[in-house]
Amino acid sequence: MHSLPSIDPLEDGTSEVRLLDFMGNSLSVVNDARQSFEKASADWSEKDAKLLNYLAREHHTSPFRGVVFKWFVKAPLFVARQWWKHTVACTYVDDQLGWNEKSYRYCSAEDAEFYMPSVFLQQSESNRQASAGPLPGATQEQAKLAYASGLWAAKAAYEDLLTMGVSKEQARAVLPPAMYTSFVWTCSLQALLHFVSLRKGAGAQGEIVAYADALLALGRPVAPEAFEAFAANNYQF
Ligand SMILES: Cc1cc2nc3c(=O)[nH]c(=O)nc-3n(C[C@H](O)[C@H](O)[C@H](O)COP(=O)(O)OP(=O)(O)OC[C@H]3O[C@@H](n4cnc5c(N)ncnc54)[C@H](O)[C@@H]3O)c2cc1C
């Protein structure tokens, strides 16, 4: 397995995206497409760049499924839940095969880590699912206090339940979506680009946008020409 760099997308010292392993590159994409003619390029050339751009522009997507990424992701539960909606996000175009998550039926959450936003944002008035700018100064501190006391109350209830002998699988239900989980996500280049196109797009929540940016930064060196073609198509895939 390759040892590859990681990024802390939420910049809190806890979140993480790490590329664990990969298979293929931009040449694999064009050579998979050329299988129709039983032809292949040995080295990257201008002809390959033209074909790759054509495939990306016209959404000839299947050759993008032969490049595979295996990621380790550590994210708050609410981000993992948004991620999990990408059901066709694995190599074999099947439901959720490319996803293995930490289980709080097995692991105790006594040492749980929680995500705390560095800035609390106001509810947007024009978009019911979005945030607007930061809350004003004094309210910022009040929000921080309310958020932190909610987390501590949930954690204390969890620990009390374990002390009473309640099972981990039941006690975990009181834990909040700000709690960190971790999972290994195996996806094709097609699924990755589709994920980024939606999760960097207008309306996506800031936290998952930060994860999409990290995937883009760590994935690009594997197939730089394919990521360039993606950018040239306005990050639509
Ligand atoms: C800004 C934003 C807000 C969102 N808000 C909500 C929300 O409020 N509630 C909510 O539940 N979800 C919400 N979602 C999730 C969204 O509805 C999608 O489930 C998610 O973005 C995954 O997209 P996808 O289906 O294209 O991806 P994938 O599951 O990876 O699918 C890839 C592609 O495969 C095709 N496909 C997948 N499944 C089928 C199928 N069954 N039949 C035919 N074709 C299929 C589609 O072309 C799809 O685009 C939101 C997403 C975004 C980006």
Residue 28 shares a structural domain with residue 98: yes
| Domain contains 114 | no
First to last CA, the chain: 29
Judge whether 172 counts as a catalytic residue.
no
| CATH code assigned at 21 | 3.30.1360.170
pTM equals 0.91
Please give the C-alpha separations between residue 125 and each of 122, 140, 199, 230, in angstroms, as whole numbers: 9, 19, 21, 33
CA of 9 to the centre of ligand 1 (A): 23
Range scoring the smallest mean pLDDT among 11-15, 104-108, 124-128, 185-189:
124-128
| pLDDT at site 101 | 86
Q: Supply the DSSP symbol for 11.
A: S
The 3-state secondary structure of 38-107 reads: CCCCCCCCHHHHHHHHHHHHCCCCHHHHCCEEEEEEEEEHHHHHHHHCCCCCCCCCCCCCCEEECCCCCC
Residue whose CA is at the smallest distance from ligand 1 atom 38: 88
Do 152 and 137 belong to one domain? yes
Are 43 and 20 members of one domain?
A: yes
DSSP state of 114: B
Contact 158, 174 (CB under 8 A): yes
Residue 138 inside a domain? The answer is yes
237 assigned to some structural domain: no
Q: In this structure, is residue 69 part of a structural domain?
A: yes
100 and 200 belong to one structural domain: yes
Closest-CA residue, ligand 1 atom 18, reads: 85
Please give the distance, rounded to the nearest whole angstrom, from the Cα atom of residue 196 to the centre of ligand 1: 12
Q: Specify the pLDDT at position 98.
A: 66
Catalytic-role residue among 57, 105, 128, 199: 199
Q: Does residue 162 sit in the same domain as residue 207?
A: no
Same domain, 132 and 223: no
Q: Which of 156, 174, 192 is the last residue of a domain?
A: 174
In a domain, 225, yes or no: yes
Q: Please tell me the residue having the least CA distance from ligand 1 atom 4.
A: 204
**Residues 74, 154: one domain?**
no
**Is there a single domain that holds both residue 215 and residue 190?**
yes
Average pLDDT over every residue of 79-104: 74
Distance 86 CA to ligand 1 centre (A): 6
Segment 211-237, tens digit of pLDDT:
999 999 999 999 999 999 999 999 998
Give the end of a domain, one of 132, 159, 174: 174
Does residue 189 belong to any structural domain of this protein?
Answer: yes
Give the residue carrying structure tokens 């995500």.
Answer: 115
- The answer to whether residues 43 and 18 belong to one domain is yes
| In-domain check, residue 112 | no
Query: Bigger pLDDT: 123 or 100?
Result: 123
**Which pLDDT tens digit goes with each residue over 130-141?**
888 999 988 999
Whether 150 and 56 map to the same domain: the answer is no
Give distance in angstroms: CA of 24 to centre of ligand 1: 26
- Residue 110 inside a domain? The answer is no
Model confidence pLDDT, tens digit, residues 35-84: 888 889 999 999 999 999 999 999 899 999 999 999 999 999 999 999 98
**Pocket around ligand 1 at a 6 A CB cut-off:** 85-89, 191, 194, 198-199, 203-204
Q: What value does the mean pLDDT take over residues 16-35? A: 95
pLDDT at 92: 45
- The total number of structural domains in the chain stands at 2
**How many other CB atoms are there within 10 angstroms of residue 115's CB atom?**
21
Q: Which atom of ligand 1 is nearest to the CA of 204?
A: 1
Q: Ligand 1: which atom is nearest the Cα of residue 205? A: 1
Atom nearest to 89 CA in ligand 1: 30
Distance CA 221, CA 147 (A): 38
Do 20 and 101 share a structural domain? yes
CA 195 to chain CA centroid, Å, is 8
Take atom 50 of ligand 1 and give the residue whose Cα is closest.
82
Q: Which domain holds residue 75?
A: 6-105+180-232
**Closest approach atom of ligand 1 to CA 203:** 1
What's the pLDDT score for residue 3? 59
Looking at the fold, whether 44 and 69 belong to one and the same domain comes out as: yes
d(CA 104, CA 93): 27
- What is the mean pLDDT of the segment spanning 111-140? 91
